[in-house]
Amino acid sequence: MKLLIPSQCIELTGDVQRVLLLAEQQGFAIGHIELGVSPTPDLQLVGDTTLRLSCNWFPHVQPDADRVLHYGAVTDDCASTAMHDRWIFIGDEHQGYVTDHWQHSDEVRSLLQVTPLEPRDYGRHLAWVLACLSLDFPIEDALVLSRAALNVSRETWPSDYRHFPQPRTQAEFSAFPTLKSASLGVYPVVDDVRWIAQLLPLGISTIQLRIKDPHQADLEQQVMEAIRLGREFGAQVFINDYWQLAVKHGAYGVHLGQEDLQTVDLKMLSDNNLRLGLSTHGYFELLRIHQLAPSYIALGHIFPTTTKQMPSKPQGLVRLALYQRLLDSMPYGDTTGVPSVAIGGIDALNAEHVLACGVTSIAVVRAITEAKDVAVATHRLQQIFALSQASTKERNHVVG
């Protein structure tokens, strides 16, 4: 990866280097990122593809760049000429509010609870944007981190919820029942109720039924049987996607992805006292989802996985640990620290490393469903989880 900075703002190089060194302290690899001078008036991120960025406080803004960052209030002239699908507005003032906003597909995304930036802050903000993009963060996460970084010292990677902006959410607020973190444990995700019948007697306390085909002939029967088994064993059974059936048959909980939030009736779920788990894939989604007060937040996918087509790249352990630090500072009911479930490519070989990031639970699929001996594989994962919990308690006791 090459980050090329035009000579007109070469002083940005030092600020970007400081952010990258701070990232290295968190565990990110930065050796592959090469800083250089751009042969053009715009910033360039050159990897598998080239991303061109420009900025309105450069001597010559490049309106045809892939992304244009506009700092400060938007003037009428700018608003009439800007290509809103490519422009990112930082500190735009409108009707007494200050927001950062940009176009994402058919959606306008916004960061709230931000302040106008002084010109002296532009370089630091932009340096964080550039460094985060170089580290392969998506643009929404780069913008979130850049704002949070302005609320902490230059030597600190943002991790406290109070320092982060709040993404605007289109969904109405709905608080869901809280969970005891200790109740989650090893969390299998299975595609047939027969797995639930097999795993609950082995001591599994949380499980998810994820049937991908909405036209499956026995779909409703499987949902009903999963709910019945959950009640029989006193287990936390979550139904993936089919929230109407979950409400109809009185399920314990529902798990939904980001795309489901466009169609789900969250108030109906909340009114029926269903627990809600929501998938996230980065800082922006994590912060936006938290506003709905779900029962737990899933973080993924951690490692490459073949069980589901994923729009995002594997997060890895470094990002997972950073997300968990943020989750640990978030309000959750009357306490602090939202329960988390790490998911994606987790098995007995890497589970210990995942749990060391501080997550509440690990979701597993192939580690159980493709095991030669399901009972042995399940008990092995439960043993790894129990040892991790004991180690965490021991460390907390020593610190306390």
Which residues line the annotated binding site? 208-212, 240-241, 260, 279, 305-308, 345
Distances (CA, A) of 226 to 126, 278, 297, 310: 50, 20, 22, 26
Query: What's the helix, strand, coil split of the chain in %, to 5?
Result: 40, 20, 40
Task: With beta carbons less than 8 A apart as the criterion, state whether 186 and 381 touch.
Answer: yes
Phi-psi region of 383 (alpha: psi -120 to 50; beta: other; left: phi over 0): alpha
Task: With beta carbons less than 8 A apart as the criterion, state whether 165 and 265 touch.
Answer: no
Q: What is the DSSP letter of 117?
A: P
Q: Which amino acid makes up residue 296?
A: Y
* Distance between CA atoms of residues 201 and 309, nearest Å: 31
Q: Which tokens belong to 195?
A: 């797995």
* Three-state secondary structure call for residue 35: strand
The binding site for Mg(2+) comprises 241, 260
Residues 6 or more apart whose CB falls under 8 angstroms from that of 375 comprise: 202
* Three-state secondary structure call for residue 20: helix
* Three-state secondary structure call for residue 342: strand
Work out the number of other CB atoms within 10 angstroms of the CB of residue 72. 18
- Which stretch of DSSP H or E encloses residue 133? helix 119-134
Query: What DSSP line would sit under 138-188, residue for residue?
Result: -HHHHHHHHHHHTTS-TT-----GGGS-EE--SSPP-------GGGT-EEE
* Distance between CA atoms of residues 376 and 388, nearest Å: 18
Task: With beta carbons less than 8 A apart as the criterion, state whether 229 and 205 touch.
Answer: no
* Distance between CA atoms of residues 192 and 174, nearest Å: 30
b or e along 360-372 (b: 16 or more beta carbons within 10 Å of the residue's beta carbon)?
Answer: bbbbbbebbbebe
